[in-house]
Structure 1
């Protein structure tokens, strides 16, 4: 007796039992509750039926001729197309040893004969619901993996596009700046005020565009997964950043101090960008009547290093704490505080690519404290030199 499956409301169940009365009882119970049921009377037929059309669940008698239920289950679990099918053992053998054996070879449940119809149905309903959830989850995982692969390809293509565009745009901008400056030098004092305004505006706009392209390119590249991380001495990184910023520090009469910083798992150039952007902002957004005071510190917090850069600048309204990290966000006019509105977005993207986060505490007219965290033991394996 081997019946073919058809469409089913609840699921497809294969019953394997050499006792016709058991087959009939189970068949009637399950079909009345919306299941499609196939019935076979021995292990060989069960293997053929399950392989040709895998059911959602198998009810398998243990004591059968030729192949017993344990042997059938072991063969099912050894085949890729049938290994994930839940198997319920049906048996008059009610010893603890038999039940343990059934679970060890891959059984999902063990139902003792004589069985109670409602109990069997409840167990089957529960197992089918679990199987449906697993299938749905597997389908969603496949869809997410496909989406992730598409995003990875898109990000790679976007990065390549940004590199090409940045290179192709920067060259004519460099020429435009150079020619404008040459033209300005050749004319000397012969410019009238309107012409002077035009040529200076052209140079300034070209320089701003050049800076914007450079910052956009940095933003696109700063979370590239191929960049290896390493154990980085933050003191050396900070010292290099301060050397680069020394002319501006002296021009603003600023005082920069720092505590001894730890070694963190990061990419040195990227970490330097974070320090440089934060210190550069502290120098830029200073109060007119007070010399900038900047301090860099670090502390341990569980599995993270927490870095803090504090200043005595103009401060930031609490309503803008989250907004300032969004790309192109500017709280002030470019004439007052020049910039592209990308610096803090770059910091956030770098820090988050390490598994950390960045945030700010500030009071208008008093100053700001920028914090960022870097995990001491990231989930991925960095290239530690």
Structure 2
């Protein structure tokens, strides 16, 4: 088997389409995959210029592209950064990827082009993009729905609460014990519903009412959070250690909320021993890693994901008050900033809440 025959065998065995043209752009060799891809027989292609496989609107410019390649021949992908198409015998266009390789044989210059049909990939990418856009629309709709519902529910709930309390005040002596107990249930339930609605509003506003990112001094934000919790800190006897925190591009009010929620969570779930809370930050390669560490009750790591789900609780309301939304808000805020949040914990040993903010959002130094 001579060299030319070996080349034909190799090209014909290739899993992708292979076309070989001379320096005039005339097709001298094709494989079976090209026949299958473009719908031409080998005999119909040999001797034709490569433009037969180029979409009709682009054919007039293609000889110039061939000349440019031959002026600087080196193996490369064709049309980097652009969508490329080939044209089948029936006139339909197909998306393709093309690799070009120069070849010299017996003093003659040739170009070997590998052609891959990427129709399925393009369809998958298009479907993925459509699903992503639909998911974004759905999330926006859900956030707007939560905001509108929680906002519109407040007025009728307020009416129920006011009239129930008025009933209890005016007719307490005229009602029997069962009726008074029922009224108390209604009053407690409306208060609880009001808390849930307010929390749902806070949750929906993370996206809908979020502010633009600006230079934010996280150390100052943490100090403000500590100041806001002065009474709770004094009542719990907590000792808070605040290490230097960076200045980053962020929503300042939301960073305050994250620090305040995490400190408040540590105070709420403290152990019998004196409470120690430490806030710190370290710079990794691509992000700032913030940590809020306490020596409180700790959490079984099997609940590590559940605690960040809206309205999920690990304890009953009587034991630890609250709706269970604080950590869900922290997660939503951190994700809005492009970061992640997670815990490291052991029951009885305390908990560390870690969250990251990408270094791309680090404020520039002046």
Please report the TM-score for the alignment, with normalisation by the length of structure 1: 0.68
Q: Which runs of 5+ in 1 are unaligned?
A: 1-9, 56-66, 87-105
Report 1:206-221 matches (<5 A): 206-221=190-205
Q: Are the structure 2 counterparts of residues 112 and 254 from structure 1 closer, same or farther at C-alpha, using a change threshold of 3 Å?
A: closer
The answer on whether the counterparts of 1:17 and 1:41 sit within 8 Å (CA) in structure 2 is no
Matched, 1:333 2:316: yes
Q: Are the structure 2 counterparts of residues 280 and 187 from structure 1 closer, same or farther at C-alpha, using a change threshold of 3 Å?
A: farther
Displacement after TM superposition at 1:167 (Å): 0.9
Matched, 1:319 2:302: yes
1:108 corresponds to which residue?
100
Give, in whole Å, the separation in 1 of the partners of 2:349 and 2:68. 75
The answer on whether the counterparts of 1:237 and 1:271 sit within 8 Å (CA) in structure 2 is yes
2:66 corresponds to which residue?
73
TM-align CA RMSD: 4.3
Give, in whole Å, the separation in 1 of the partners of 2:338 and 2:241. 27
Matched, 1:362 2:345: yes
The answer on whether the counterparts of 2:55 and 2:86 sit within 8 Å (CA) in structure 1 is no
Displacement after TM superposition at 1:207 (Å): 2.0
More strand by share: 2
Give, in whole Å, the separation in 2 of the partners of 1:17 and 1:274. 66
Structure 2 counterpart of 1:146, from 130, 133, 146: 130
Q: Are the structure 2 counterparts of residues 32 and 294 from structure 1 closer, same or farther at C-alpha, using a change threshold of 3 Å?
A: closer
Q: Are the structure 2 counterparts of residues 263 and 75 from structure 1 closer, same or farther at C-alpha, using a change threshold of 3 Å?
A: closer
Q: Runs ≥4 in structure 1, deviation > 6 angstroms?
A: 10-19, 75-78, 381-385
Q: Are the structure 2 counterparts of residues 71 and 363 from structure 1 closer, same or farther at C-alpha, using a change threshold of 3 Å?
A: closer
Give, in whole Å, the separation in 2 of the partners of 1:200 and 1:217. 26
Name the SS of the counterpart of 1:339 in structure 2: coil
Name the SS of the counterpart of 1:231 in structure 2: strand
Name the SS of the counterpart of 1:362 in structure 2: strand
Q: Which runs of 5+ in 2 are unaligned?
A: 1-14, 70-77, 88-97
Give, in whole Å, the separation in 2 of the partners of 1:71 and 1:152. 43
1:93 corresponds to which residue?
none
The answer on whether the counterparts of 2:18 and 2:33 sit within 8 Å (CA) in structure 1 is no
Name the SS of the counterpart of 1:282 in structure 2: helix
Displacement after TM superposition at 1:295 (Å): 2.9
2:158 corresponds to which residue?
174
Please report the TM-score for the alignment, with normalisation by the length of structure 2: 0.71
Give, in whole Å, the separation in 1 of the partners of 2:306 and 2:126. 35
Name the SS of the counterpart of 1:108 in structure 2: strand
Give, in whole Å, the separation in 1 of the partners of 2:121 and 2:209. 27
Q: Deviations over 1:213-253 (max 9, x none)?
A: 22223333424597421121223322333343333334444
1:298 corresponds to which residue?
281
Report 1:1-385 matches (<5 A): 26=29, 30=32, 36-37=40-41, 38-39=44-45, 47=51, 50-52=54-56, 70-71=63-64, 73=66, 84-85=85-86, 108-112=100-104, 127-128=114-115, 131-132=116-117, 134-187=118-171, 192-223=176-207, 227-287=211-271, 289-290=272-273, 292-378=275-361
How many pairs are equivalent? 324
Displacement after TM superposition at 1:346 (Å): 1.6
Q: Are the structure 2 counterparts of residues 112 and 264 from structure 1 closer, same or farther at C-alpha, using a change threshold of 3 Å?
A: closer
Q: Are the structure 2 counterparts of residues 13 and 281 from structure 1 closer, same or farther at C-alpha, using a change threshold of 3 Å?
A: closer
Displacement after TM superposition at 1:162 (Å): 1.6
The answer on whether the counterparts of 1:359 and 1:370 sit within 8 Å (CA) in structure 2 is yes
Give, in whole Å, the separation in 1 of the partners of 2:58 and 2:192. 65
Moved more, 265-274 or 233-242: 233-242
Give, in whole Å, the separation in 2 of the partners of 1:82 and 1:292. 61
2:72 corresponds to which residue?
none
Give, in whole Å, the separation in 2 of the partners of 1:247 and 1:231. 29
Moved more, 193-202 or 155-164: 193-202
Q: Deviations over 1:118-170 (max 9, x none)?
A: xx9xx66xx23xx22x4433332222222222222222222222221111111
